[in-house]
Structure 1
């Protein structure tokens, strides 16, 4: 049985379709990447999956999350799923975190709500969550989000997303707002935690190299539609859709530039010709 089963999902804003008849599944423990350019519908898909679409959007089709139908369900029926079934890690942690609440309390909230811990047990669980994301110093629990670096905020957001030990982690472009060095640290952390806790992963990105690193199977989206699906190896070696082929070619071109020896780079004079 699939942990997530999306069938014929369509999301509209008035007459405009932001997601158009998208279908895919994620099995327990499976890692699936959703890739596409800005405006392709990948982030809207993730919001539809968890029932977090704004009131201005309407959804149809079917989304079964651990056997529960999300489309058309009232929010009170979906709240128990957000945490124990699906944890969500957003792109920009500074806006995802509450600026007026110490981060220790923000980590404690899903633990208290979903796992029922109180007192010393809750304190120990918060400390363990911080240790999981390599922030063991107690001062981090007492900090406000603005007192932390971008990488530290994303680690806190990761701790919150994983606090209730979800079966599925939905990571929506979690490294886009970070510099390259910190991006690599966060990706390595997510890779480790997903494996350690045996979670499924829905990883959303516009970067094929990152998706190839983090996932085993890929859904390629363009203009709201899933234009191609397959294993990472099949997508990279034998893309069928022209858009997928262009993504692969672009990634290879970037790799060839980065791998070129320094002596091959043009001089100032050559660059100006």
Structure 2
């Protein structure tokens, strides 16, 4: 069953610039799609459009149907109902998603309270469980902490816990490991892979790194200058790319991987 269906999505600025141009793709329930492209290719704007979160000065046309709800042109009340329940997002930098003045536990508790009606000890236990699910040690201590009091890797796990707390049907992961060091990246990718498999969730994974996308997705859509360049199974995109731009991305990923292997061997 199709969970997310995007048809003819176009994102423009108020001065007439086209940033995403006639983009179409779909994600089935339980499927994992990677959006691949260099910075400025329009992939992050696409995910913001899916959630109805485009910044001021930008607008979307076309159709975005998420779990039966039309996102384009929907009122904010309807969009608020969709976020968290049908789709949730983890951004590249968790500090953009976390309130620096609010304790971690309260930030996870609020969407849980709104979506599930939990309160008191039941809500506190649900928060601890959410933190345990993302393998954070001492969940009670983390819950009492402010975002600046925990590490970057721990903040990203908290952001993932917030995204998964209400069991959304679709997880949108926008460069979730880019700001982390290599060892923490690997742990985060393995965690995301495990949790979405256990929950049979769909994933829309955004990255400029083909190697990362290949680890957590089944299918990939390559974007350049706001348009779709190539789409197919990840192993086909990586092993036998059709388009020159895709071949360039594959070659760059292989050069970077070789350089990292060489550095780690020293």
Normalising by structure 2, what TM-score?
0.95
- Compared with structure 1, are the counterparts of its residues 16 and 121 closer, same or farther at alpha carbon in structure 2 (3 Å cutoff)? same
How far apart in 2 are the matches of 1:100 and 1:25? 38
Q: Deviations over 1:134-170 (max 9, x none)?
A: 1241110000000010000000000001110000000
- Secondary structure at the aligned position of 2:187 is classed as helix
Q: 1:132·1:159 contact (CA, 8 Å) conserved in 2?
A: yes
Report the equivalent of 2:53.
52
How far apart in 1 are the matches of 2:103 and 2:263? 47
How far apart in 2 are the matches of 1:259 and 1:25? 35
How far apart in 2 are the matches of 1:71 and 1:258? 42
How far apart in 1 are the matches of 2:78 and 2:260? 49
The offset of 1:37, in angstroms, is 0.4
The answer as to 2:66 corresponding to 1:65 is: yes
How far apart in 2 are the matches of 1:210 and 1:261? 19
How far apart in 2 are the matches of 1:116 and 1:198? 24
- Secondary structure at the aligned position of 2:73 is classed as coil
- Secondary structure at the aligned position of 1:3 is classed as strand
Report the equivalent of 1:36.
37
Q: How many residue pairs were aligned?
A: 264
How far apart in 2 are the matches of 1:161 and 1:40? 25
Give 1:175's match in structure 2, choosing from 174, 177, 188: 177
- Compare CA radii of gyration and give the structure with the larger one: 1
How far apart in 2 are the matches of 1:175 and 1:159? 15
The answer as to 2:77 corresponding to 1:80 is: no
- Unaligned regions of 5+ residues in structure 1, if any? 266-273
Normalising by structure 1, what TM-score?
0.93
How far apart in 2 are the matches of 1:9 and 1:262? 42
Report the equivalent of 1:251.
253
Report the equivalent of 1:269.
none
Report the equivalent of 2:213.
211
The offset of 1:184, in angstroms, is 1.0
How far apart in 2 are the matches of 1:262 and 1:71? 47
Report the equivalent of 2:91.
90
Report the equivalent of 1:127.
128
The offset of 1:258, in angstroms, is 4.6
Q: 1:80·1:114 contact (CA, 8 Å) conserved in 2?
A: no
Q: 2:210·2:238 contact (CA, 8 Å) conserved in 1?
A: no
- Unaligned regions of 5+ residues in structure 2, if any? none
Q: Deviations over 1:37-94 (max 9, x none)?
A: 0000000000000101123101100000001100011111111110111011011012
- Compared with structure 1, are the counterparts of its residues 261 and 10 closer, same or farther at alpha carbon in structure 2 (3 Å cutoff)? closer
How far apart in 1 are the matches of 2:96 and 2:233? 33
Most deviating of 67-76 and 113-122: 113-122
